[in-house]
Amino acid sequence: MRKEQLNQMLGRQSSQKEAFAFFDELEVAEPYEMWGVWKGEELATGHPFEGLLAASGWYGKEFCSAEHVHPLVFEKKNGDLYKVNPLLIPLNLPFDKIPKRLIRPAMALIRPMIQTQKSAARLRKLEYRGKLSASMVYDKKDIIDVFRKVDQDTLLGIMDIKSLDTDDTYFFVLNRVNVMKKF
């Protein structure tokens, strides 16, 4: 039932209020349930970042342990995956004004400078909207991603960015994958 509701929301624009109502209904996620690679997609709610991650080649996230998390995994055109240091990605650019068709080529150009094998986040259980749930705390950014469980292989996440000048929240979905691709 919840997966069907999520799929309906993914197929259209949702309001922030509707997305939060769905998020609040979901079960908490435990950090140990998240180990592995997850493919991401955004839930459209009108946030200024919408379209940015897809346009940049964002693949998802990798959770190796509570202390070793790769928050930004991208996919090259050949299908290979690579990890990015989020510290090197500025959040204060006018992303909504940048043509989306230019983002992926720009990522390919700067890949050698932003690619990393080092972990850039940790998993902790934090309280958010009245529930204690798995949360990814970026090491050197003012970002916390909070997760709720749609089912054992699907998570709904929110990106809480302290310094972003908006009251909107960025919503995204993670689906567990068995990755045989090369990092």
Asked if residue 182 belongs to a domain, the reply is no
Evaluate whether 116 touches 149 at the Cβ level (below 8 Å).
no
Q: How far is CA 104 from the centre of its chain?
A: 17
Contact 165, 144 (CB under 8 A): no
Helix (H, G, I), strand (E, B) or coil at 40: strand
Residue-number span of the structural domain to which 132 is assigned = 2-177
Identify which of 52, 120, 122, 138 has the alpha carbon closest to the alpha carbon of residue 84: 120
For helices 2-10 and 16-25, give the axis angle rounded to 10 degrees.
Answer: 160
Which whole number is the average pLDDT over 149-167? 88
> Residue 162: pLDDT band by 50, 70, 90 thresholds?
confident
Checking if the pLDDT of 87 tops 70, the result is yes
Please state the domain count of the chain. 1
- Please count the helices (runs of H) and the strands (runs of E) in the chain: 4, 10
Q: What is the mean pLDDT of the chain?
A: 89
Mean of pLDDT values over 134-151: 96
Tens-digit pLDDT profile for residues 3-36: 999 999 999 999 999 999 999 999 999 999 999 9
80 closest CA partner among 57, 104, 106: 57
User: Does 78 reside within a domain?
Assistant: yes
Q: Rg of the chain's alpha carbons, rounded to an integer? A: 15
CATH number at residue 99: 2.40.128.580
Residue 95 in this model has a pLDDT that exceeds 70: no
What is the C-alpha to C-alpha distance for residues 60 and 176, in angstroms, rounded to an integer? 10
Rounded percentage of the chain residues whose pLDDT exceeds 70 = 92
Give the confidence band of 102 by pLDDT, cuts at 50, 70, 90. Answer: confident
Q: Is the pLDDT reported for residue 180 higher than 70? A: no
* C-beta neighbour count of 57 within 10 angstroms: 20
Which DSSP string corresponds to 48-105?
Answer: TTTTHHHHHTEEEEEEEETTEEEEEEEE-TTS-EEEB-GGGS-S-S-GGGS-GGGHHH
| pLDDT, average across residues 142-154 | 96
In a domain, 89, yes or no: yes
Residue 135 lies in a domain: yes
pLDDT one-digit tens code per residue, 32-55 = 999 999 999 999 998 888 888 888
Q: What is the mean pLDDT of residues 123-135?
A: 97
Q: Is 143 helix (H, G, I), strand (E, B) or coil?
A: strand
123 in a structural domain: yes
- pLDDT at position 60 is 96
Residue 105 lies in a domain: yes
In a domain, 183, yes or no: no
Whole-model pTM above 0.85? Answer: yes
Residue 166 has pLDDT above 90, yes or no: no
Neighbours of 68 (CB within 10 A): 14
Task: Give the per-residue pLDDT at 114.
Answer: 82
* Residue 118 covered by a domain: yes
In three-state secondary structure terms, 151 is strand
pLDDT of 14 reads 94
